[in-house]
């Protein structure tokens, strides 16, 4: 992220759609998946919907992929899969974008050069034999786990290592100490009355977010959050504490002591302990304590002990769906010692995540990397093998609760040297067969031959292939407690995954780079987050460059003071600083992983910070000028907002005898996850403008999510689409009648008429109209673009259309009562409602009569069709 972004830079990051021109000539794959529905299967001109599974951090989430002519154009959640429940997140929505990225690998490389025909066979032959090391990410796939085990058995002395930059070693260490075996905690937020989060972020981005967010919305437990850096859960907390990492174990011990938890080795005191313990005690079995990523093992163990002491009914323990494999540190030591001769890395990038790994790889005689891109690890390996996209290949995986699902191809396989992970392991084993055959063999073993074909077809159509993992009944061991080492005073480094890039796996997704982060509002880069008090003490302002030193390593980064950050705790977002893989991700932000210890610790004391006197321009989208914070209203429980009394208007009344489309957004349910914004972009071919134009305030997102500050450094999120005003001030000022009102209340844009005067934008009090300064039609970053939505030329206004193409499609099929906009369908908490205001039974009509309902800037008399439900908080506004 740099202020020196140029037009050439913008053109490079917006080049993903070059592949579009070839799509029409692509053939159907030899082995397509099983569509949920679709007329004329195998006919390229027809639509089809495919249930399949996409992974995040190795865990599956069920999706429905809408295709046109055999090519994916939209991903939505599968209502029948527990990992998504019909919702989606920013990672699922961006999957079609990555499918057609022009920098994706298509050919094998040997030492960085195109491999000779047939040479890949020699690469696999060189990997077979004694001492093979296989490196994967966390595997929940039954098929991959089976094939890895067979590969290890075929090569004596072989070892399987797991590289997971998102892993939390302390959590598993605590489970082993508390229960004697590895366990995963599954919170049940529907059953919980009070949830205490010690650094945990159950509503934050992750493989279980969609399910946990829905459960939180339905159960509405009281949230008590202690954290070092602001999170989405902290933003929604009923009470929030900003704590330095050194305070978490004393707080946990003090709470356990107040509750009288048995087996506690050492007690402690903390000012907040008594009130938090009282809240948990009052909740009884409805109490739940969650320890988060980066907490010491002792805090995780205390959380287990408190839950057991209170006999919490709001959680269950299961065996980790993606457990197994050895750590990475022994592999690095063996490589540096020259003891590794064969190395296969399957869709992982440790050369980016682990300092020194690439150099150690240089001592391995036969190394091969399988990946979608020539990333940092691909450059360091002797061989780079192109990997098929998840939407092109067969596979399977388990969700966060252990529910299995089948992944089936929904797009044409590119053919040639491109292989899926399953096919790569088959090639390593020198076996014939396809990925589909291997997956079927796995499930034939599980289900047996009786009715296998029927169960297989059912699993493909449902997107679910079995039941969740059974709950374990484990007793807490008497010696569960083990106090941690004292935390040294001073600055602490707190490593955190980026909300949109994770640890870097999504760094090359232009949609995710450009989408402003929920809390910092940054795009196209990261910053070292510090408390305003820390910044004031050190004389730092937003954008000041600092030199960070930890463990003998040094890097430079811009600083961003952030309200709610713990004093003397510096949060370093991962995922940026990529040095390979493509122009979208390369050179963006600073490489925080370079400071991270090899053991994958999330919190490390002893950070040194020094101002350099230089500045780095931050690309941040601030709240829209002109909108006051009171546009997001807050009420006390049971409070009713008074009805607004309208005066006279120059606009004549207009009847809407047919449908009257409207939207209602519940601010009390919104968690600020940005799923709505990215779903709108994917559905409506909203282009990426690049860092230079984002820095100039020329972003084209049709839907933005405003963040408003609340007491105790919490936040209130407010999605803001076009209001679709019945008395729209944008319409009478247009000199060419390009912005018009239709007979159902939609504020429409007639693009061919627009001459770019921008008078409509100047007259819009909500600032929801976007001017297209460039012609993005040939380089729009929606390679699987929606053919139902026109691409807009340069010089026209763009804005939310209420997904009018979906309304027209539903009208043609006679199902107007089921219309959902893309944003409403994506929302995990169902905070966005859409429907016919003239239908008194519709959810949006009922929301209009809710005591919390209000219209933004109602005093202007614009009569918006988009309404809001006020957030509910103790004490109200």
Q: How many CB atoms lie within 10 A of CB 813?
A: 9
Question: In sequence order, what are the residues at sequence separation of 6 or more whose Cβ sits closer than 8 angstroms to the Cβ of residue 576?
Answer: 1, 498, 501, 504, 507, 525, 526, 588, 589, 590, 591, 592
- Same-domain pairing of 463 and 372: yes
**What mean pLDDT is predicted for residues 355-377?**
96
Six-digit token string for 599: 């053991």
Residue 608 lies in a domain: yes
Helix, strand or coil, per DSSP, at residue 395 = strand
Annotate 7-40 with b (16+ C-beta within 10 A) or e (fewer): eebbeebbbbbebbeebeeeeebeebbbbbeeee
**pLDDT for residue 6:** 52
With beta carbons less than 8 A apart as the criterion, state whether 232 and 673 touch.
Answer: yes
Does one domain contain both 720 and 856? yes
CATH value at residue 229: 3.40.228.10
DSSP-assigned beta bridge partners for residue 68 = 47, 71
Same structural domain, 545 and 453:
no
Q: How far is CA 107 from each of CA 355, 415, 752, rounded to the nearest angstrom?
A: 28, 10, 43
Q: How confident is the model at residue 345 (pLDDT cuts 50, 70, 90)?
A: very high
Answer yes or no: do 836 and 806 share one domain: yes
pLDDT of residue 252: 97
Question: Residue 22 — pLDDT band, cuts 50, 70, 90?
Answer: very low
| Model confidence at 42: pLDDT above 90 | no
The pLDDT score that the predictor gives to residue 624 is 54
Phi-psi region for residue 58, left (φ > 0), alpha (ψ -120 to 50) or beta? left
For 615-640, the pLDDT digits (tens) are 999 999 865 555 665 789 999 999 99
Q: Does position 27 have pLDDT exceeding 60, yes or no?
A: no
Report the length, in residues, of the chain: 877
Q: Residue 24: which residues within 8 A CB-CB, separation 6 or more? A: 69
Per-residue pLDDT, 623: 53
Q: Are residues 738 and 790 in the same domain?
A: yes
Q: pLDDT grade, residue 47 (50/70/90)?
A: confident
pLDDT at 538: 96
Mean pLDDT of the region 528-543: 97
**Quick check: is 128 in a domain?**
yes
pLDDT at 662 over 70: yes
Counted domains in the chain: 4
pLDDT attached to residue 555: 96
Alpha-carbon distance of 322 to 148, in angstroms, equals 14
| Domain with 155 in it | 31-167+323-484
Q: Are residues 397 and 524 in the same domain?
A: no
**Structure tokens of 406?**
């089948």
Domain boundary among 558, 583, 615: 615
Q: What does the pLDDT average to over 836-853?
A: 96
- Say if residue 730 is in the same domain as residue 828: yes
Q: Is the pLDDT of residue 467 over 60?
A: yes
- Six-digit token string for 201: 């972020």
The predicted pLDDT at position 780 comes to 47
Average pLDDT over the chain, rounded to an integer: 91
Residue 29 has pLDDT above 70, yes or no: no
Q: Whole-angstrom Cα distance, residue 877 to residue 869?
A: 14
Q: Are residues 601 and 742 in the same domain?
A: no
Q: Are residues 755 and 712 in the same domain?
A: yes
At residue 643 the predicted structure's pLDDT band, cuts being 50, 70 and 90, is confident
**Considering the entire predicted model, what is its pTM?**
0.94
Cβ contact 390:419 at 8 Å: no
Q: Residues 816-839: pLDDT tens digits?
A: 989 999 999 999 999 999 999 999
Residue finishing a domain among 423, 450, 484: 484
Average pLDDT, stretch 673-689? Answer: 95
Residue 788 in any domain: the answer is yes
Q: What is the CATH number of the domain that holds 566?
A: 2.40.40.20
Confidence of residue 654 (pLDDT cuts 50, 70, 90): confident
Q: pLDDT tens digit string along 101-122?
A: 889 999 999 999 999 988 999 9
Residues 461 and 542 occupy one common structural domain: no
pLDDT bucket at 782, cuts 50 / 70 / 90? very low
Hey, which bits of 201-293 come out as E strands?
Answer: 222-227, 239-242, 287-291
Angle, in degrees to the nearest 10, between helices 452-462 and 435-447? 110
Checking if the pLDDT of 4 tops 60, the result is no
Number of other residues whose CB lies within 10 A of the CB of residue 339 = 13
Let me know if residue 769 belongs to a domain: yes
Q: Do the domain assignments include residue 633?
A: no
Identify which has the larger pLDDT, 555 or 38: 555
Average pLDDT for 5-14: 48
Helix (H, G, I), strand (E, B) or coil at 711: helix
- Report the pLDDT value the prediction gives residue 776, as an integer from 0 to 100: 77
Q: How much is the average pLDDT of 173-198?
A: 94
Is 461 a domain residue?
A: yes
Report the CATH number at residue 432. 3.40.50
- Is the pLDDT at 360 greater than 80? The verdict is yes
pLDDT at position 648: 75
How confident is the model at residue 438, as a pLDDT?
97
Question: Is residue 19 situated within a structural domain?
Answer: no
Average pLDDT over residues 653-676: 95
Q: Is 386 among the domain residues? A: yes
The answer on 386 and 289 residing in a single domain is: no
Residues 833 and 750 in one domain: yes
Answer positive or negative: Cα dihedral of 245, 575, 698, 695. positive
pLDDT surpassing 90 at residue 649:
no
Least confident segment among 33-47, 124-138, 362-376: 33-47
What share of the chain has pLDDT > 70, as a percent?
93
Task: State yes or no: pLDDT of 74 exceeds 70.
Answer: yes
The percentage of residues in the chain with a pLDDT greater than 90, rounded to a whole number, is 83
Last-in-domain residue among 484, 513, 548: 484
Contacts with 369 (C-beta within 8 Å, 6 or more apart), sequence order: 345, 377, 378, 380, 381, 383, 384, 385
The pLDDT of residue 344 is above 70: yes
């Amino acid at each position: 992220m740099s202020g020196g972004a140029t037009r050439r830079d913008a053109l490079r990051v917006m080049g993903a759609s070059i592949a579009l021109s070839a799509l029409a000539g692509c053939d159907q794959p030899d082995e397509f998946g099983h569509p949920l529905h679709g007329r004329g299967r195998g006919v390229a001109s027809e639509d089809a919907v495919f249930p399949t599974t996409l992974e995040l951090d190795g865990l599956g989430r069920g999706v429905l992929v809408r295709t046109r002519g055999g090519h994916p154009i939209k991903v939505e959640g599968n209502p029948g899969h527990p990992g998504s429940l019909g919702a989606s997140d920013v990672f699922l929505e961006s999957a079609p974008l990555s499918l057609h990225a022009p920098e994706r690998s298509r050919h094998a490389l040997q030492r960085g050069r195109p491999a000779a025909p047939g040479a890949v066979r020699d690469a696999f032959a060189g990997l077979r034999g004694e001492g093979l090391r296989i490196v994967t990410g966390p595997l929940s796939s039954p098929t991959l786990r089976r094939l890895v085990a067979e590969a290890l058995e075929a090569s004596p002395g072989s070892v399987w290592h797991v590289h997971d930059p998102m892993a939390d070693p302390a959590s598993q260490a605590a489970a082993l100490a508390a229960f004697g075996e590895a366990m995963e905690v599954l919170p049940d937020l529907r059953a919980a009355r009070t949830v205490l989060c010690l650094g945990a972020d159950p509503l934050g981005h992750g493989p279980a977010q969609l399910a946990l967010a829905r459960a939180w919305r339905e159960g509405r437990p009281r949230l008590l959050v202690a954290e070092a850096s602001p999170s989405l859960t902290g933003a929604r907390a009923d009470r929030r504490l900003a704590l330095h990492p050194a305070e978490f174990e004393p707080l946990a011990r003090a709470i356990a002591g107040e509750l009288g938890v048995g087996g506690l080795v050492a007690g402690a005191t903390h000012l907040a302990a008594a009130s938090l313990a009282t809240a948990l005690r009052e909740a009884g079995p409805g109490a739940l304590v969650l320890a988060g990523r980066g907490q010491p093992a002792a805090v995780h163990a205390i959380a287990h002990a408190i839950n057991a002491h209170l006999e919490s009914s709001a959680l269950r323990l299961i065996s980790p769906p993606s457990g197994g494999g050895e750590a990475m540190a022994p592999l690095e030591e063996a490589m540096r010692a020259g003891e590794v001769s064969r190395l296969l890395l399957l869709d992982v990038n440790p050369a980016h995540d682990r300092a020194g790994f690439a150099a150690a790889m240089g001592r391995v005689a036969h190394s091969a990397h399988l990946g979608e891109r020539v990333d940092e690890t691909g450059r360091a390996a002797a061989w780079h093998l192109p990997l098929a996209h998840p939407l092109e290949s067969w596979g399977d995986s388990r969700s966060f609760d252990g529910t299995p699902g089948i992944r089936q191809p929904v797009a044409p396989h590119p053919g040639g040297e491109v292989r899926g992970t399953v096919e790569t392991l088959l090639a390593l084993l020198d076996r014939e067969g396809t990925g589909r055959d291997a997956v079927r063999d796995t499930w034939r073993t599980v289900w047996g031959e009786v009715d296998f074909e029927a169960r297989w077809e059912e699993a493909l159509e449902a997107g679910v292939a079995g039941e969740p993992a059974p709950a374990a009944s484990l007793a807490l061991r008497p010696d569960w407690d083990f106090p941690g080492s004292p935390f040294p005073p001073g600055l602490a480094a707190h490593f955190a995954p980026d909300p949109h890039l994770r640890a870097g796996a999504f760094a090359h997704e232009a949609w995710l780079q450009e989408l402003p982060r929920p809390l910092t509002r940054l795009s196209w880069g990261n910053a070292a987050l510090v408390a305003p008090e820390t910044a004031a003490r050190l004389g730092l302002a937003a954008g000041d460059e600092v030199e960070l030193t930890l463990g003998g390593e040094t890097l430079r980064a811009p600083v961003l003071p952030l309200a709610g950050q713990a004093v003397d705790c510096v949060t370093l977002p991962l995922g940026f600083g990529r040095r390979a893989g493509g122009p979208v991700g390369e050179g963006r932000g600073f490489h925080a992983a370079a400071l991270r210890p090899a053991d994958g610790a999330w919190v490390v004391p002893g950070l040194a910070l020094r101002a350099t006197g230089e500045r780095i321009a931050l690309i941040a989208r601030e709240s829209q000028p002109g909108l006051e914070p009171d546009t997001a209203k807050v009420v006390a429980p049971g409070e009713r907002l008074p009805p607004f009394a309208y005066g006279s208007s120059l606009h004549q009344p207009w009847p809407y005898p047919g449908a009257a489309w409207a939207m209602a957004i519940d601010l009390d349910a919104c968690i600020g996850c940005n799923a709505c914004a990215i779903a709108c972009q994917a559905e409506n071919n909203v282009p990426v403008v690049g860092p230079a134009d984002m820095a100039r305030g020329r972003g084209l997102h049709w839907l933005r999510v405003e963040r408003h500050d609340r007491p105790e450094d919490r936040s209130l999120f407010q999605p803001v689409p076009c209001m679709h005003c019945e008395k729209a001030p944008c319409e009478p000022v247009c000199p060419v009648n390009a912005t018009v009102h239709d007979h159902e209340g939609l504020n429409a844009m007639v693009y061919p008429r627009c001459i770019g005067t921008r008078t409509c934008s100047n007259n819009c009090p909500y600032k929801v109209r976007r001017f297209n300064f460039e012609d993005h039609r040939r380089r729009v970053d929606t390679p699987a673009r929606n053919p139902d939505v026109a691409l807009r030329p340069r010089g026209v206004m763009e804005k939310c259309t209420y997904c009018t193409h979906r309304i027209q499609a539903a009208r043609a099929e006679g199902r107007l009562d089921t219309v959902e906009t893309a944003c409403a369908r994506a929302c995990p908490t169902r905070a966005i409602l859409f429907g016919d205001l003239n239908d008194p039974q519709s959810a949006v009509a009922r929301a209009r009569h809710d005591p919390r309902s209000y219209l933004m800037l109602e005093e202007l008399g614009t009569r918006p069709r988009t309404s809001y439900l006020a957030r509910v908080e103790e004490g109200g506004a």
